[in-house]
Structure formats: C-alpha cells, structure tokens
A and B are shown apart, each in its own frame.
Chain A
C-alpha cells in the first residue's frame, strides 16, 4: 500500500489549492508485521556537510500519522507478493543515503521538480521502479505529488559506494 499525508503539515496546506503529499510505502507481511519505507531529507544527524540529502527511512510495527489517502499497490506480473516485499526492502536497504541532495519542488511549492532535482517522492518512485520496472501511476484528486514525475536514477539503489 501507498499512504499519503500532507507534506510539512499543517503549514504545508495553508493557502494552497492543492497541498503536496508525502508518500510512504507500507508493507504488511504476515511474518514480519508492518514495515514502513519512505525517503526523508537529512538534518545534521550525519554532520553539517550532509544536511539536506536524501536517506532511506524505514521503521516497523507502526503506521505514519495523519494519513489522508491510501492507494493499493499490486506486485508486478510474474512476481509473488512475498518476493515483491522482500525486493523492496532489499533495494531500500541498498539505497545510498546521504549522497543525493534533497531539493524542494520548483518555485518551492510547485507541483513538479526542476529537472535533475529529487525529493522524497522521487526516492519512492525510483524504489518502485527499481523493482517493478516502471513507476506506477499516482493521481490523487485534490493533491499534488511533486517528485513522482522525476524518479531518482536507479544506480542509487545498487548498494555500491558512490561517494
């Protein structure tokens, strides 16, 4: 499942016709419970030179708060749900966190990213693409998802040191 909540709520919703969504991937597995994966901008937890970069955020057995939309996500043809879940978790763990800069959308609060710039939606779109081979369609009436149209390059998910 994909869960969407308003990015930077509640101020992210003020004065806008279409608030931006932050999307999280929810994997509900009978053996391992609930796993939540999303991309997050880094703060100063890894030093000042690593501020505002994209990292994998993964936690278990709790759900993100303030969810406003839930979107079903099916495994691609020829892949079992178990394999799909395992591959998503493996790719997320392989992601080279603290490398790619985190960017805000065009005009700071626009509905698209500037070319070559990435945010948390770019991260999740690329994670799904790395396993599914394509980025699933994501349209939510009344909301915008900047970054979904601009997935990160897939080499970030290969588990290689690239910095």
Chain B
C-alpha cells in the first residue's frame, strides 16, 4: 500500500473512532459509571487514547526524512490536520450522542 493511502486510512479510522468512543462512553455512563467524576475520568481516558493513537499514526505512517526542516514541516502539517479533523469529529460525536441518548 502506498504511504499516502496508509496515512489517509489511519487518519480516517481515527476520525471515525471518535463518535464510536463517544457512544461507548455514553453507554458506560448511563449503565456502569453513573457519576460526574466517572464521566470526567472517561473523558480523560478518551483524550489519552486519541492522543496516543495519533502519535502512533505519526510514528508509523508519516514518511521519515533526513532533513530536520522537512521533518518539522511534516509534524506541523500532521498536527494541524489532526486538530482540524478532530474538532469536526468531536462535534459530530456530540451530535450523535445527543441524538441517541438525549442530554
């Protein structure tokens, strides 16, 4: 598989996982962990999972290069892309959770 395709598919999987994690968290919050503290812990756990997953995508899928400048540009582009994609995916996740479970 071409490196570009692999990177795109991994970012797409990361994006789709955000609403799925939201649904799983909402189900757990309504069944097993019915406290505000538990919801905060789950939110932090989701954040950690997403950040670590993004780091793995960067490590495994962004092409390496001997040029430090080019490497820095790749990192900046990757981080900016993930922030924008993540912002919209989180918005979509909130919408899906509200539609499925109410407020």
Q: Do A and B come from one complex?
A: yes
Binding site for B on A (CB under 8 A): 5-15, 22, 38, 40-41, 43, 52, 57, 65-68, 104, 108-109, 120
Verify if B16 is at the interface (C-beta below 8 Å from A): no
Asked if A6 and B90 sit within 8 Å, CB to CB, the answer is no
As a 0/1 sequence over residues 64 to 103 of chain B, the CB contacts with chain A under 8 angstroms (1 = contact) are: 0000000000000000000000110011011101111111
Chain B's nearest CB lies how many Å from the CB of A5?
A: 6
Which residues of B lie under 8 Å from residue A52 when comparing CB positions? 99
Choose one: B36, B46, B90; the contact of A66 (CB below 8 Å).
B36
- Alpha-carbon gap, A104 to B100, bound state (A): 15
Q: What are the nearest 7 A-B pairs in CB distance?
A: A11-B22, A13-B43, A65-B34, A10-B42, A10-B43, A68-B36, A108-B91
> Of residues A8, A52, A67, A104, which shows the largest number of chain B Cβ atoms within 10 Å of its Cβ?
A8
> Of residues A11, A13, A104, which shows the largest number of chain B Cβ atoms within 10 Å of its Cβ?
A11
Chain B's nearest CB lies how many Å from the CB of A137?
A: 22
**A-B contacts, 5 listed (Cβ < 8 Å):** A8-B22, A9-B25, A11-B93, A13-B39, A38-B103
Asked if A41 and B102 sit within 8 Å, CB to CB, the answer is yes
Asked if B103 and A10 sit within 8 Å, CB to CB, the answer is no
Asked if A65 and B22 sit within 8 Å, CB to CB, the answer is no
Asked if A67 and B36 sit within 8 Å, CB to CB, the answer is yes
Chain B's nearest CB lies how many Å from the CB of A95?
A: 16
Given known pairs A11-B21, A11-B22, A14-B47, the reply for A5 and B36 (CB within 8 Å) is yes
